[in-house]
Amino acid sequence: MTSEELNIAFKDAVERINNHHEPFPADFLLRLYAYYKRATNDYSQPKSRKAIINAFKTNALFQVKNVSQEEAKQIYIDLVNNYFLYRK
């Protein structure tokens, strides 16, 4: 997959998630959060009002710190595709 194709597939996966209206499992959301932040090189701190949520998000970010931006995009795409393939 070329870099351009990866970017298009990533944007499509983000759009699928944003357009989905049913709740997602918390662990899935944390993984999406971490890979999205890594894929977009967004290093801002979590901004939840609840310290425990910020702690979980920070931990999720720490777990993907050695993943490249391209790998993070692909993993995000795979997570989204697998979620929608196997949810029922």
Residue 68 lies in a domain: yes
1 vs 20, more confident: 20
Residue 9 lies in a domain: no
pLDDT of residue 88: 57
CB proximity list for 68: less than 8 A, separation 6 or greater:
none
CATH code (residue 70) = 1.20.80.10
pLDDT of residue 5: 96
What's the farthest any 2 CA atoms get from each other in the chain? 40
Tally of structural domains, the chain:
1
Q: Which residue from 68, 73, 58 is spatially nearest to 10, judged by alpha carbons?
A: 73
Residue 40 lies in a domain: yes
Q: What is the pLDDT of residues 35-80, one digit of tens each?
A: 999 999 988 888 888 999 999 999 999 999 999 999 999 999 999 9
Ramachandran category for residue 41: left, alpha or beta (phi over 0 → left; psi -120 to 50 → alpha)? left
Which amino acid would we find at residue 42? D
Query: Which two three-digit tokens encode residue 82?
Result: 């697998």
Residue 48 lies in a domain: yes
Q: What is the pLDDT of residues 15-40, one digit of tens each?
A: 999 999 999 999 999 999 999 999 99
What residues make up the domain containing 81? 25-86
Residue 5 lies in a domain: no
Give 81's pLDDT tier (boundaries 50, 70, 90): very high
pTM of the model: 0.91
Residue 72 lies in a domain: yes
CB proximity list for 48: less than 8 A, separation 6 or greater:
54, 57
